[in-house]
Every structure is written in C-alpha cells, then in structure tokens.
Amino acid sequence: MSDEFQKGNLESFLLSVLDDKQKECIKNFRKCYKYELNDKWTYNTFYKQKKYPFDFNHKNFDILKQKLQTLFN
C-alpha cells in the first residue's frame, strides 16, 4: 500500500487501489487544501458516489480474496 494513505481502515485500503491518475489527483488536492484530509473524508467525498470505482483485479485485493475463499471453503 502506498505511504500516502493511512493503514488500518477500509477507506485507506480502497484508496490504495485507485489508478495512478486518481492518486495524483488526491495528492494534489491535499497539497492545496489548507485542512488535513483523512482517508475516510477523501473516500467519502471523491469515490463513494461512483458505482464501480475499483479494479478488483488490483494486487492489493489478492490477500482479501484469498481470505474470503478460505473462509467460504
């Protein structure tokens, strides 16, 4: 997971799987915004409204998919 996102919460994980263009947009917005924006606020503001914002083939989802498969087997 990228250092620019916090570890340990779902919103941070979901932000970590965005493509580089989306990550750069968030990074630039955070630089010019005078208040600190946590990952939960960022996710809820920028990505929660999208119907399919995530690529579930992203490598960051691999561990989650493995754990789910184990759980349901």
> Which structural domain range is residue 53 located in?
10-72
Domain contains 29: yes
Domain contains 5: no
Domain contains 26: yes
Write down the pTM of the prediction.
0.61
What is each CA distance from 6 to 15, 30, 44, 69, in whole angstroms?
10, 14, 15, 26
Q: Report the percentage of the chain scoring pLDDT > 70.
A: 81
Domain contains 4: no
Domain contains 42: yes
Number of domain units in the chain: 1
31-56 tens-digit pLDDT: 888 788 888 888 877 776 666 667 78
Report pLDDT for 1: 41
Domain contains 68: yes
Q: Whole-angstrom Cα distance, residue 49 to residue 69? A: 28
Domain contains 66: yes
Report pLDDT for 38: 85
Q: Which long-range contacts (CB under 8 A, 24 or more apart) does 63-68 make?
A: none
- Answer yes or no: are the C-beta atoms of 55 and 12 closer than 8 Å: no
Averaged pLDDT of the chain: 80
Domain contains 23: yes
